[in-house]
Amino acid sequence: MLRVGKRFTVIVLLLVVVGFSDPHPSEARNGCIPGAYLVKEGSGTQSLWTLSEDGTLHITSSAEVAFNFSHLQGAWRHSGRGRAKAVALDFDFISNPIGDGAPPASIARIDISISFSQECNEIEGNLELRFFDPKTEDPLDPTTSAGIPTADSFTGRRVRVN
């Protein structure tokens, strides 16, 4: 009888621990921020932004082909109620690659501040774009100041299934 009691206690404790654990980051608990958004920048460029529950950011821009740059990838974090900050990087390419590879001509870094509507259906914010020389500058070093930032604003709507 004692063995059944110990086994029961272990099972109950295991269920309690599993019940209180949360596999999602705190930003994702309310389900507001993670999602896909159709975004329009003040410049007229449009893009699709995906903010994932794991804190990653993926952006596909309508300007990629015209300005010869890659998709943007990065990270985001919660920065207050209905707010987030993000950093995205892309590779900018020369028109005619030389040599055995295709090294980037520059690396672009975009610092983004996002505000979400109360219903999470709309976003707005600001972004700053900077270019870094991949041979001499580190786009992940916060003490590096490459060039003059280009600022823009944006608005967007959450992509939903009807």
pLDDT-based confidence at residue 20 (cuts at 50, 70, 90): very low
* Cβ proximity of 84 and 27 under 8 Å: yes
Using one digit for the tens of pLDDT, what is the confidence trace for 105-149?
999 999 999 999 988 899 999 999 999 999 899 999 877 777 789
Which range of residues forms the domain containing residue 105? 23-158
- The strand pairing partners of 33, in sequence order, are none
The answer to the question of residue 59 being in a domain is yes
Q: How far is CA 59 from CA 9, 35, 75, 123, 126, in A?
A: 49, 12, 11, 15, 15
Cα gap 109→140, rounded to integer Å: 8
The model carries a pTM of 0.78
Of 126, 110, 41, 39, nearest to 72 by C-alpha is: 110
Find the CATH number of the domain harbouring 57: 2.40.128.30
pLDDT confidence of residue 67: 92
Residue 45: inside a domain, yes or no? yes
Number of domains the chain is built from: 1
Task: Give 37-54 pLDDT, tens digit per residue.
Answer: 999 999 999 999 999 999
Distance separating alpha carbons of residues 83 and 116, to the nearest angstrom: 6
